[in-house]
Structures are given as structure tokens and as C-alpha cells.
Amino acid sequence: MNEESKLNGKWVNDYGSEMDLSVERGLVSGTYSSTTGEVGRYRVAGLVDEYPGAGGLTAGLIVSWRNLDGDAEAGGRVSPAEESPSTHWMTSLTGQLHCIDGQDVLTTTFLLTKNTRAEDRWEDTVVNTMVFRRV
């Protein structure tokens, strides 16, 4: 198994939200299923270090908070008037994958950016940490 493929598979965080990731030639794609805030399924894209050195495997992921399931009756789409405000938000998750006590652990810094008016930009980013474990 090459190092980058260690990110393949299902991951769960401390809130019970899940990511299902696939890696090919350093490019990450997948879905994030949220159990908090806006419940739904969301697109994940990113990069992983194809040739890591000693230490953890580094990765950078982006979650787009536009619900992939949307309104099932509308073919997965909703009108702009019905959209959740979080539809226009993005989250970046940047961190490292380590094997800790025999378990794969992806520890990330979480940056949630909300779309705001220019005068409100001081409140547009939330910073946190988020830990995922392989399912």
C-alpha cells in the first residue's frame, strides 16, 4: 500500500460525523455526512502528500456545505430562496494522519468560513480542532 492511500476509507469524528474518502495520485475526493448543524451529505476535495517523509502523512481537505442530497423531490436541488445560509460556507481541514496505539488518527485544524458582507468579515471564520478515527 502506498502512503497516500492510507487516507482511503471511512472516518468518524468525535461528533459522529463521517467522511468517506478516496485518494488517487494525491487527489482526495469523497463525502462528509454531518450529524450536527446542517445535517446532510457534503462534497470533500483535497490533496495528500504523495511522498511523505518521516512523521505523519499530511493532508488538506475542503468541505463545501452545499447539501448533495438537497431536496429529493427537486432532484437534489433547492431554489435560492430555500437555501440554508450555510450553503455558501466552506471548511478547510488541514492536518496529519498518524497511527496511535494501533489506530489510524487524522488530527486536523478546522477553519469554517462563512460568507459575510465586507463590513462583517471580522466574524467570518471559526477556528477549531477536529479529530477523525478510521471506522
Question: What is the CATH classification number for the domain harbouring 58?
Answer: 2.40.128.30
Half-sphere exposure of residue 3: CA atoms within 13 angstroms, side-chain side: 17
Q: How many CB atoms lie within 10 A of CB 124?
A: 14
CA distance 123 to 20: 30
Return phi, psi of residue 86, to 5°. Answer: -75, -10
Half-sphere exposure of residue 131: CA atoms within 13 angstroms, side-chain side: 8
CA distance 135 to 18: 9
Closest Cα partner for 37 from 8, 72, 59, 63? 63
Domain count for the chain: 1
The pLDDT value given to residue 127: 95
pLDDT in tens, 36-74: 877 789 999 999 998 887 889 999 999 998 888 865 444
Give the domain range for residue 29: 3-134
Residues 6+ apart with CB under 8 A from 120: none
Residue 16 above 60 pLDDT? Answer: yes
Residue 78 above 50 pLDDT? Answer: yes
pTM of the model: 0.84
